[in-house]
Amino acid sequence: MLFKKLAAAALAIAAMAMPVAAQDFIAGIPRNEALIIQGPAAQNAEWFNLWAPGGGATTNGNQQLTADTLWWINPEGTGDAAWTNALAADKPVYNDDFTQMTVTLKEGIFWSDGVEFTADDVKYTVDTQIAHPGMGWSAPFTVNVESVEVPDRNTVVFNLKAPNSRFHTLFTVRWNAAWIMPKHVFETVDDPLTYAANPPVSLSAYVLHSYDTAGNWVIWKLRDDWQRTSIGQGLTEAPQVKYVVYRNAGNPDARVIEQMNHNLDVINDIAPEGMFTIARDAADSTAYWFPGFPFAHPDPTLPSVLFNHQVEPFNNKDVRWALALMIDIRSVAMGSYRGAANLAALSTPPTGSAITDYYQPMQEWLVNYEVNTGTRTIKPYDPTTAEQIAALVKPQWGDQIPSDPTQLKAMFGEGWWKQDLAAAAELLQKAGFTKNGNQWMKPDGTPFTIKLMVEGDAIPTLARAGTIIAQQWSMEGIQTTVDVAGPTNGQRLGGGDYEAAIYWTVETWGGHPDLSFFLESYHSDFIKPAGEVQPPRNLTRWQDERLDQIIEANRTVGFDDPKVVELGMDYLKLAVEEMPFIPLMAYNKFAPFDTTYWTGYPSAANPYAASGPNWSNLRYMIVALEANPNAPAAQ
């Protein structure tokens, strides 16, 4: 009897559950008017102040859809097309010694509450943040800005404390930038640091519609006056996406399931296995960066083997080169991304404009580059790695793998270093190491062992890469253990509390050849002693006079000066010679798009916007999407 009752209860629950499939996925909003994007689980869902600490890193659509600033760079773009004048009418104008920057603003742009955007908003943004230490861009403004003048409502003049040819980059969105504050709103509040800005006043094409107080979703709605925004002024027709839903779709497995159930149009990142499942089971309703394998879109970020130069023997370039030549990159590509990796031999991510500005022009130099092992000279570069990896993945992916070498290089990278164990041994001997059995001994007679730090589950592909490299080094006589840092990873990297690590210390604009985005922080002025926290990006604490000279020269030329590329190549050649870290690959992200309701997503063939939903640049994708005429009818 009891079991009959239990069975009856279970059936009743199941019956109650059945209608869920027929229910509106979002109450009151037609599914075919909404684009659903993977978002975060917000702790403080009612907080929309972008200028408070950490506010500029929100990925719930607030900065992606309501914020705006002077300029944008498409991280996937190339040439002039990658640059967008947003609130600014033109590019920044500097005086001769880069101590003053003048900006002319566009007209006819309004905040969502009907107040016109003017130069006063820009001046207020800078002055207010300088007056309130702790606000997001307070520190860089305080360090750089002497004063801001507003000669008329469309012109802003920044007087700088010292020459800075890259000051405008503080207002240039790559992932984010200093967003302009609504003066008329913030000047009425007591403390801009504790003001929730709920609802936020929008300067872009969408406004807040509703949100979950439990932090699982936020819905944004197209502004009625979307034309009166910088993005709207560039459109001839109204965006078809009326609602944008940022929803936390849970763990990576749940994200895959939700996309295959058509409840999640845009995924930020999933593991390769999840990507391959979607490609196998939902290929008809999914779009990818590449039309087939390797699917992933490369972020302008460069996962590498980092060495702490303040720890011996990693301050020796022969040791670093030896460790590079012990790596079989094909195994790393297969083990980490199951082959779907875009390899990088140069110390800049192989994405956006870097391919045509650096990778392709430097191929001949790389092929002819020589390393002196102490006993002979070798040419370590292998321009055929793409073909080799293609051969490894072809049995699984068949016709999706082309035979054209140019296409293969676009998919798998231009080339990498040949594994050369004999040369690696010679380099270690050159550095004073000896071999005892199969164990390499340091010049002081102690065993050469390495702790290789990885973040862990947060980035499984890089953790796998670290494990494989550790195995390869161990097999060659350098006992290497993998050290999983978990949430302490960033802090340990910044504090120099590691020997070697798999992470990135180079990020670029992606859509522009200027390398100052990371290179400025590589100047020796910013190197900290061991134990102190390093400013972001030079995590290896690499120090070199020749590097300082390149950085100082880059400061004296304008952002768009052709010399920028020359200086970039000088840096890249120096980095090959010194191998301060071993570049591995682009940070490939698997970000599949569901095409059931929307089409026209960006791709490698048409990279008009960034792919990952965390990038603010995604706003250009959202207004460009087209409704799928074959979508299921609205319920």
Query: Which residue in the set 91, 430, 523, 555 belongs to the binding site for another protein (CB under 8 A)?
Result: 523
Q: What residues contact residue 305 under an 8 Å CB cut-off, 6+ apart?
A: 323, 324, 327, 452, 469, 500, 501, 502, 581, 582, 584
Q: What is the DSSP letter of 590?
A: B
Instruction: In whole angstroms, give the CA distance from residue 557 to residue 465.
Output: 38
Residue labelled with tokens 């917000």: 42
Does 215 help bind another protein (rule: CB under 8 A)? yes
Of 112-120, 209-217, 322-330, 400-408, which segment contacts another protein by CB under 8 A? 209-217
- Side-chain half-sphere exposure of 586, counting CA atoms within 13 A: 31
Residues 398-417 that bind another protein (CB under 8 A): none
Does 531 help bind another protein (rule: CB under 8 A)? no
Q: What is the DSSP letter of 200?
A: P
Instruction: In whole angstroms, give the CA distance from residue 256 to residue 275.
Output: 8
Q: Is the dihedral of CA 420, 421, 424, 429 positive or negative?
A: negative
Does 136 help bind another protein (rule: CB under 8 A)? yes
Judged by CB, which is closer to another protein: 184, or 528?
Answer: 528
Does 588 help bind another protein (rule: CB under 8 A)? no
Does 26 help bind another protein (rule: CB under 8 A)? yes
Beta bridge partners of 160: 145
Judged by CB, which is closer to another protein: 257, or 421?
Answer: 257
Q: How far is the CB of 34 from another protein (least distance, A)?
A: 9
Q: What strands lie across the sheet with 34-38, from one edge to the other?
A: 34-38, 243-247, 217-222, 206-211
Query: Which residue in the set 84, 172, 268, 385 belongs to the binding site for another protein (CB under 8 A)?
Result: 172
Residues 187-206 that bind another protein (CB under 8 A): 193-194
Does 53 help bind another protein (rule: CB under 8 A)? yes
Does 265 help bind another protein (rule: CB under 8 A)? no
Strands (E), 391-508: 416-417, 434-436, 439-441, 449-454, 479-484, 500-507
Q: How far is the CB of 306 from another protein (least distance, A)?
A: 16
Query: Which residue in the set 526, 544, 561, 631 belongs to the binding site for another protein (CB under 8 A)?
Result: 526
Query: Which residue in the set 70, 87, 148, 170 belongs to the binding site for another protein (CB under 8 A)?
Result: 170
Does 344 help bind another protein (rule: CB under 8 A)? no
Does 62 help bind another protein (rule: CB under 8 A)? no
User: Phi and psi of 550, rounded to 5°?
Assistant: -65, -45
Query: Which residue in the set 8, 11, 12, 54 belongs to the binding site for another protein (CB under 8 A)?
Result: 54
Residues 302-341 that bind another protein (CB under 8 A): none
Of 9-17, 112-120, 342-350, 358-366, which segment contacts another protein by CB under 8 A? 9-17
Does 396 help bind another protein (rule: CB under 8 A)? no
Residues 532-551 that bind another protein (CB under 8 A): 533, 535-537
Query: Which residue in the set 144, 165, 202, 204 belongs to the binding site for another protein (CB under 8 A)?
Result: 144
Of 110-118, 170-178, 228-236, 408-416, which segment contacts another protein by CB under 8 A? 170-178
Judged by CB, which is closer to another protein: 367, or 533?
Answer: 533
Q: How far is the CB of 553 from another protein (least distance, A)?
A: 17
Instruction: In whole angstroms, give the CA distance from residue 322 to residue 327.
Output: 9
8 A C-beta contact, residue 489 and residue 53: no
Of 18-26, 197-205, 336-344, 471-479, which segment contacts another protein by CB under 8 A? 18-26
Does 91 help bind another protein (rule: CB under 8 A)? no
Judged by CB, which is closer to another protein: 252, or 600?
Answer: 252
Instruction: In whole angstroms, give the CA distance from residue 540 to residue 502.
Output: 11
Judged by CB, which is closer to another protein: 160, or 411?
Answer: 160
Beta bridge partners of 222: 206
Residues 470-509 that bind another protein (CB under 8 A): 487-488, 490-492, 494-495
Judged by CB, which is closer to another protein: 175, or 293?
Answer: 175
Query: Which residue in the set 7, 8, 12, 13 belongs to the binding site for another protein (CB under 8 A)?
Result: 13
- CA neighbor of 64 nearest in space, from 625, 617, 629: 617
Query: Which residue in the set 173, 393, 424, 569 belongs to the binding site for another protein (CB under 8 A)?
Result: 173
Does 283 help bind another protein (rule: CB under 8 A)? no
Sort strands 206-211 and 217-222 into parallel, antiparallel or unpaired: antiparallel
487, burial (CB in 10 Å: exposed 0-12, middle 13-18, buried 19+): exposed
Judged by CB, which is closer to another protein: 301, or 373?
Answer: 301
- CA neighbor of 610 nearest in space, from 298, 302, 354: 298
Residues 236-255 that bind another protein (CB under 8 A): 245, 247-251, 253-254
Q: How far is the CB of 188 from another protein (least distance, A)?
A: 19
Q: Which two tokens stand for residue 273?
A: 């296995």
8 A C-beta contact, residue 47 and residue 175: no
Judged by CB, which is closer to another protein: 402, or 536?
Answer: 536
Instruction: In whole angstroms, give the CA distance from residue 569 to residue 37.
Output: 38
Sort strands 172-173 and 71-73 into parallel, antiparallel or unpaired: parallel
Length, in residues, of the chain: 635
Number of chain positions touching another protein (CB under 8 A): 85
Instruction: In whole angstroms, give the CA distance from residue 343 to residue 624.
Output: 31
Judged by CB, which is closer to another protein: 140, or 383?
Answer: 140
Of 200-208, 318-326, 530-538, 565-573, which segment contacts another protein by CB under 8 A? 530-538
Does 391 help bind another protein (rule: CB under 8 A)? no
Residue labelled with tokens 């469309």: 154
Query: Which residue in the set 65, 105, 178, 482 belongs to the binding site for another protein (CB under 8 A)?
Result: 178
DSSP string across 89-135: SS--EE-TTSSEEEEEBPSS-B-TTSPBP-HHHHHHHHHHHHHSBTB
User: Three-state SS for 451?
Assistant: strand
Judged by CB, which is closer to another protein: 301, or 467?
Answer: 301
Does 14 help bind another protein (rule: CB under 8 A)? yes
Element (H, E) at 324: helix 317-325
8 A C-beta contact, residue 33 and residue 241: yes
Query: Which residue in the set 68, 76, 121, 258 belongs to the binding site for another protein (CB under 8 A)?
Result: 258
Does 9 help bind another protein (rule: CB under 8 A)? no
Site map (CB under 8 A) of another protein, residues 434-473, x = contact:
----------------------------------------
